[in-house]
Amino acid sequence: MLDARLRPLIDGPLTRLGRTLAALGVTANRLTLAAFALGLLAVPALALGWFGVALVLIAANRLLDGLDGAVARATRPTDLGGYLDIVCDFVFYAAVPVGFALADPAANALPAAVLIASFVGTGSTFLAHALLAERHRLTTRAQGEKSLYYMSGLMEGTETIAFFIAFCLWPAGFPVLAWIMAGLCAVSALGRVLLTARTFGRW
């Protein structure tokens, strides 16, 4: 919901830094994989209760994730790059709740499992819509230049990271926050289903 509004604010700095990194020989795919590795390191940090460390790793993941696209645009975007970006993002998103489940299984395991299930809903509705959009040759630049059709929703990257930050700052509140986030993801997924039905067919 907020991604499109934040895009004009962050595109300029990311583009300039992306051009600098590209000139130094840094590739987009290497940034994607580096971001993914840092994001996964947040899982053991969370499991050990190192929530401040996990927060830094999550922030680093998101920064590099923004830079990989900027570097790709400064050089030459590839299908493999787009593929790696989306796969790494989805796995990272699912991994963070696992870290909280490991930190306190009794309190966090069930809400973490429900939250991951809600991510499956938002992810599948997002990707399935992108597949249909590609088939019908639909395009959008509402979220900037992307490797696939980017369907907006109630829960997008900005909202997800806001919740992840809240999880780290208030780890005892993870169960409550996870249930709230899962509910918002369910609403977002339902909205995408209804919009897809309206766009491509009837019930």
For the chain, what are the domain ranges? 3-200
Nearest to 176 by CA among 126, 112, 122, 105: 112
CATH homologous superfamily of 3-200 = CDP-alcohol phosphotransferase transmembrane (TM) domain (1.20.120.1760)
> What's the confidence (pLDDT) of residue 146?
54
The arithmetic mean of pLDDT across residues 34-62, rounded, is 97
> What's the confidence (pLDDT) of residue 131?
82
Cα–Cα distance between 89 and 92 in angstroms, integer?
A: 5
Rounded to 10 degrees, the C-alpha dihedral 8/12/13/16 comes to 160
Per-residue pLDDT tens over the stretch 163-174: 999 999 999 999
Lowest-pLDDT range of 39-53, 60-74, 132-146: 132-146
Q: Taking CA 155 as the corner, what is the angle to CA 38 and CA 71, rounded to the nearest 5 degrees?
A: 45
Per-residue pLDDT tens over the stretch 92-150: 999 999 999 999 999 999 999 999 999 999 999 888 878 888 777 776 655 555 555 56
User: Would the pLDDT of 6 be above 90?
Assistant: no
Calculate the average pLDDT of the chain: 87
Cα–Cα distance between 144 and 154 in angstroms, integer?
A: 18
